[in-house]
Structure formats: structure tokens, C-alpha cells
Structure 1
Amino acid sequence: MFLINLPIGLVALLLALRTLPADQHAGRPEERLDVLGLALLSPGFAALVYGFTTAAHSGDASSPKVLVAFVAGVLLLVGYVVHALRTPAPLIDVRMFDKRGFTMAVITMFFVGAVANALLFLTPLYYQQSREFGALHAGLLLIPSGFLGAAGAITSGKTANKVTARLTSTAGMLITALGALAFSQIGSGTNTALLSVALGLTGYGIGLTAPGTMAFMYRAVGEASAPRATSALFIFNQIGGALGIAAIAIVLQERLGDGGGHPAGAYGGSYWVIIAFSVVAALAALVLPGSFRAEAPGEGPPAGEEKAPLPEATSA
């Protein structure tokens, strides 16, 4: 089934080559690939993701396989941090975490990843195992999340000249929490139209959150650091996604117990994990530096952050 990604990826690649502007390297010193950093960072994150997914599969976060993966991942990442502080051009510059804007943006996107992946994992399971819908039926019921997610992203862009991500991202994750709250009350016969509206709210909230948070992150670190900051942001977003699925799977298995059934109440109670993740993301967005309104022309960036123009693709 993963083959469906090939034609979609090819289309995206061709569109990117056609529409995205070329990087401007004039006047910038050429940097070598941080091979040692790559050797520490990639397997370190891979070990953490493996630990989370193994915990989700087994329902036991304390199994030896999970603990070994977590310990190995932490040791590799600690080794990377030590290395990154000693090299002038690390793969991901951990010094960027000195900037509150960058740190809060990463935390926000970490939990956005947890929320988005947990929703996509738990909701189809509820429809298929508790409501006994087919896979196609369950998949079609996810469509409102995608459409309203796109609407949320458009809204974020349209309001960028009036309000900052501190407002849109906070509001977005609170809207997501509201949609998940509706799912926390589900039963075996809950109206699917109402659930589609609730799922649409979660999609809209995530769409409203992500673009503004990313654009804020670019301003916080400055244009020169944007490539490494982007890498860090998406790595933590993926780690958050693995954490979200693992947490949901463990909670769901515990609630289902050993009876082998799939009561709707067990699924509804599991959505409280998603609500909690959404609230944490909203709090992280709330403490982004700066005001809630967008700065007028000539005003400076948030205190302690660098001034850098927003990339056209993220502000559009």
C-alpha cells in the first residue's frame, strides 16, 4: 500500500522543481557535511522512534526491548549534543535552543505531531472496531479533517498581517482540543455527522497552528540558521508523532483490558490523551515571545530574537 506514495511524491517533486526558487549561495562559505553528527543523530532519533512504536505494539512501555531502545537513543543524542557544542557547523545547532521563540515553536510542533498522528491512528480504529465500519467507510469519514485542515492553513496565512502565531497557534490547538473533547464522549451509536464536524474542528485547528508556528520559528533564528532550524523542527515533529501513537496505543490497550472486545467507551476515554497534548501545545504557543498582533512596518522582532524576513512560501 505504500506504493501509492510514489506517484504522489513524483508529482510533488516536479511541482517543487517548477515553482520553488533556487537557493542563493553567493557570498556564503561552503560547509562540509557533519558526518559524525549524522552518525549520532540519525540512529539516536531512530532508536527513540523504535522504542515508541515497540511500546505501542506491545502495550508495555517497560519491556526490555523498549528500555534498551530508549537508553540507546538517549545516549546517542547526548553524544550528539556534546559534539554539536564543539563543532562550528553541526548538523543541527543546539545553540538555537537559547532562543525562546525557537524552543517554544519546536515544543508546539512536537505536540502538534503527537496530536495529528494520534488522531489518525485512533479515529479509524474506533470506526472500524467499535462501529464495525469498513476500511473505505472509515477512510471517507476522515475527509473533513483534511479539507478543514487546508482551510485552517489558509486562515493562518490570511491573518498573518494582523495577528501573530502566538494567537493563531494557541487558538488552533484549543480548537483541536475542543474537537477531541467531542470524541471523548462517544458511544456505540454516536451520530457520525456530528463526529465528522468534530474531526473537522481538529483538522482546522492543526491547520491553523502549523504554518504560523513555522513562520515564527524562521524569524526567531534568522535566515542563516533557517535550514538547520527547519530540520530540527520536523525531526521533533516526527518524534512527537511517534510518541502520540505510542501513548494512545498503550492507554487504549489498558482500557480495553483482556476481554478482547472494543467498547466505544474505551476509545472515548483515550481521546483525553489527545486533549492533554493539545492543551500543552496551546500553552507552548501562548508563551511565544512578542505580542498577539502582527508588527507594523518598521517595528522590530520579539525581544531577544533576530530580525529576518519571512520566507514567501510560509507567509503566503
Structure 2
Amino acid sequence: MVFAALILGGLLVVLDITIINVAIRTLARDLAVSLPVIQWVSTGYTLALAMTVPTSAWLVGRFGVRRVYVGALGGFVLGSVLCGLAWDIGSLIAFRVLQGVGGGLVQPVGMMIVLRATPPERRGRAMGLLGLPVLVGPVLGPTLGGWLVEISWRWIFLVNLPVGLAALLLAARALRPFNGSASGAAAAAGGAVGDRATGPRLDVAGLALVAPGLALFVFGLAESGRLGTVASSSVVVPALVGIAMVAGFVVRALKTPAPLVRITLLGRRAVASGAVTLVLFSSAYFGSMLVLPLYWQVARGLSPAETGMLGIPQALATGLSLQVASRLVDRLQPARVVGFGITLAASGLLAAVLLLDANTPYWQLMLAMSVTGVGAGSTIMPTITTALRNLDDRDSPSGSTLLNITSQVGVSIGTAATSVVLASGLASRGLAAVLAGGDAGGGSDTAVPGAGPAQVAVDVAAGFAAACRTTLGVPLVLMAGALVAALTVLPRRASQTSTAVVEG
């Protein structure tokens, strides 16, 4: 029942993200706003998530994992209903922020529960179960989103209500044994499960540095992706201020006895190596995920729903391989499992680069990206499991928080870098209007004089495909860096004996 509650809660969040991705253009049309404005429906959620994740360790130490998890799900469901009732773009963005506050806690708190519920030698299998939403969500989300959008954009949010209520009821019942039982001493030291009476005090100064610091950094990255350049004050200023604030938080966390997040955990090889590998691979993989959907829609003229269906094989490959690799990492050397996964992901991505043109057969690109999906499933969750495997109840909240922050930063970096390179490539080919909402028939700058609309479309498709090939070189380089990190710094042993008292 515990894992059913965690899987259903995780599925709720993953479904929402994948549905939103399909509905962006429809939202822009129905709300009569431009694409840059409607992107704040996603950006607002991401910023709220970035500000919320750092608080997860303290919230669990103060209120217990059950209260925090149920509260996070409740906030997410409430935000979903309000989004479905939004009356304009401003209210929709505001309610998406509320969704992000709840959604940002679901994954890290779910990891904490898994670490408490399972012994170290079985945590790979347990993390694999926690990753089941990655298998189901990307398969159902795009298809369901395409169907719901045709009825009304409001249903892409209201559909979360029945699923969310079921997740809330199950979590409230199944997580009763996890209501908070850590000792006051452990909680005061940044412990795992403290209750209201004995939980640690909030590191207000640390929160005032890291939460807005991460939000400003992510905002700068999002702006660079939107503008297609890093040479803008709206990109550089918030990013640098954000980095400075996060650096200040790190300095403070190393000195204060009860920090918001225990940065000293990065002194452990498993945690540090996992964080490095995760940030590089997340940047590469999620950055590459931006390119092919745009290629399908712009160069091949497919609808968002059709684009989502073409991604189903990759989603299935990722989810299935995640289940296998998460179990293998309990028995084999983590460096071998993760190294194999990164190599496979890079191989699939390289094949996509070599194959991609304006008329590549669908099955070839789907096969190449499915190979990349197998690699991703064999990398992300095994890396997280290796990093967190031997943390005890006192350290697991900070450990899972650090890994979730790392992952979120990696996704933001990869998406921004890919967007900038793609925008630059399109601009050099006279196709800058494509990312501003143009279609394959609107890039007349690339056509020869006197060419008709059909020839213009062919030229634009070829130019867009060429820009996509160049852009995918960025994720390939990042994956190479992740492979070096995995093979040189990840632990060599499959599991170690933990001295922690495992509850549940």
C-alpha cells in the first residue's frame, strides 16, 4: 500500500507535466496570448518547484513524512482545480505556482519514505518501483492531453481531481506508520522524521538565500531559452545573482549547526559522484528531449497529439529499462550499470544525429530515441539509488533534497543550452520566426527567388532538420562528461552494510 500510494502520487505529477507540454499552443490560442507569455504556465511551475524543493528536508524533520506528503498532494490537487477554473492568463499562472509548490515536494519526500521503508541492499528495487510513473506517465500523458484539449483546455487540469483524491485517500491510510518518530536529538541535527514538538528550527537565513537564489538562476536559464541568447541583461543578471545567493547558502550551511540542507553530505563519495553524474546526464537527456518534438511538428507538420504518440516507444523503453537496471544496481557495480546506460543513451543520440534529415523514416528516429530511452532508464534512477543507498534516517532528507535540486538544475541547464543553440542555428539559416510560432511554410528567407509555397516548405524543413542535428551535439558532449564521471568517481561496490536503524 505504501508503494501504491507513492506510485499514484508520482503518476499524478508526471501526467500533469506531460499533458501541459502537449497543450501549450492550444492554451496560447484559447487565451489569446503569445507563446512567450503562455510559456510562463510552465516557467511559473518550475520556479515554484525550485523554491520548494530545498524546504523538503526541514518540512519532513518538522512535521513528519506522512503530513508533508499528504499536504503536498493536497496542494497539488487544489492547484489543479483552481487552474481548471482560471479566468485569464494571470490567474492561470498564479495557480500553476500553487501546483508547483505541492508538486515540488512529492518526489523528494517519496524518496525519503522509500529509504525508510527498505534496507540498503534492496533500495535499488524499491527505487525502481518509485520510478514506475516514468513508465506510465509519458505514455498516457500526451495521448490523454491531445484528447482532452479537443474538449476544453480546462480538462487538462480538472482530470487531476479524481486521480488526486484517490492518491490522497490511499496515502493518508498507507503512510500512518510514517507519521514521525525520530528522536528530538536526531531531528535537531537535521533529522529525518521529527514531529511538531521536536522538529528542527527553520534555517530562515538559509531559506532566504537558497530558495530565491535557485529561482533566479532557473529564471535566467528560462529567459536564455526563450530569447535564444545568453547575451541579455534579463538572462545574465538574475543568473549571476542566483549563483551568488546559492554560494552564500553553501558557505552558511557549512558553518551553521542546523542548516536547511546538510551540504556536508557532498563530502561522501557516493553522494558527490552521484550529484555530478546526475547533473551532467540530466542536462544532456532532458535537453535532447526538447529537439525531436519540435522537429516532428515544424519539419514534418505533425500535430501535438501525433508527436506525443511518436514518443511512446521511447517512454516504454525508459520505464522498462529502469525496472531492470534498478534491480541490477543492487547486485552489480554501480559504475558498470550506469556507465553502460550512459553509453547506450549516447549511442542512440548519435544515431539520431546521423539519421536526422527532412525525410528520415519515422521508425528510424523512433528506434534511435528508444535506444536513448533504454540508456536513460539505466542511468538516472540507478545513479540516485547509489548516491542515497547508505544514508540513514538522519541524513536521507538532506540527501534526497540535494539530489532533487541537482536534477532540477540539470534539467534547467540542459533545456536552456539546447534552446539557445537551436535558436542560434535557426537564426543563421533565416528561420528565427519558427520558434516564435511560425510554421514550416513561413520561412521564406530560405527559399530561392520565385519558389512557390511547396518549395518554401521543403527548404524550411531541411533547414530546421540541419539546425536540430547541430543542436543535438550539445547533449552528446554533456553525456560524454557524464560517462567520464560515472566511470571514474561512482562507487565500485554494489551495496554496503549500513549502520542505520531501518524502520517500517
Worse overlay, 225-234 or 198-207: 198-207
Deviations 1:287-316 (A, max 9, x none): 23432x635xxxx56xxxx7558999xxxx
CA distance in 2, matches of 1:54, 1:179: 29
Match status 1:146 vs 2:302: no
- SS of residue matched to 2:243: helix
Q: Is the 8 A contact 2:210 2:246 kept in 1?
A: yes
Indicate the percent of aligned positions where both proteins have the same amino acid. 29
- The SS at the match of 1:294 is coil
- Change over 3 Å in CA distance of 1:50–1:160 after alignment to 2: same
Per-residue CA shift, 1:90-148, capped at 9, x if unaligned? 11112112122211101122123213321331110011111111111111111112111
Partner residue of 1:210 out of 380, 384, 401: 380
> Is contact 1:184–1:270 with CA below 8 Å preserved after alignment?
no
Select the residue among 270, 290, 293 that pairs with 1:101: 270
Q: 2:262 aligned with 1:61, yes or no? A: no
Task: Render the CA deviation track for 1:252-276: whole Å, top value 9, x for unaligned.
Answer: 1121225124521111121111112
Q: What is the TM-score normalised by the length of structure 1?
A: 0.87
CA 1:100–1:160 in structure 2 vs 1: closer, same or farther (change >3 Å)? closer
Query: Normalised by the size of structure 2, how large is the TM-score?
Result: 0.56
Residue 28 to residue 151, structure 1, CA distance change in 2 (3 Å): farther
The structure with the greater share of residues assigned to helix is 2
Moved more, 29-38 or 229-238: 29-38
Match of 1:179 among 343, 348, 365: 348
Count of residues paired in the alignment: 303
Q: Which has the higher contact order (CA 8 A, sep 6+)?
A: 1
Partners of 1:32 and 1:169 in 2: CA distance: 38
C-alpha separation in 2, matches of 1:10 and 1:115: 35
Partner of residue 242 from structure 1, selected from 401, 404, 412: 412
Aligned residues of 1:40 and 1:79 also touching (Cα < 8 A): yes
Letter in 1 for 2:472: Y
User: How far apart are the structure 1 equivalents of 2:291 and 2:502?
Assistant: 36
Structure 1 unaligned segments of length 5 or more: list them: none
The runs of 5 or more residues in structure 2 that have no matched partner are 1-18, 21-79, 81-155, 186-198, 432-459
Residue 376 (structure 2) pairs with residue 191 (structure 1): no
Q: Tell me what 1:137 maps to.
A: 306
2:466 pairs with one of 260, 265, 279: 265
Seen in structure 2, the aligned counterparts of structure 1 residues 49 and 134 have a Cα distance that, compared at 3 Å, is same
Deviations for 1:196-230, whole angstroms, at most 9, x for unmatched residues? 11111122211111222111111354442111111
Shift of 1:189: 0.9
Equivalent position to 1:162, from 308, 331, 339: 331
Amino acid at match of 1:217: A
Between the aligned partners of 2:503 and 2:422, the Cα distance in structure 1 is: 41
Q: CA RMSD in A?
A: 2.4
Supply the distance in 2 between the matched residues of 1:142 and 1:62 (Cα, whole angstroms): 33
Specify whether residues 99 and 19 from structure 1 end up closer, same or farther in structure 2 by C-alpha distance, changes over 3 A only: same
SS of the residue 2:421 aligns to:
helix
Higher Cα radius of gyration: 2
2-structure distance, mates of 1:82, 1:294: 33
Q: Residue 278 of structure 1: which of 479, 490, 497 is its match?
A: 479
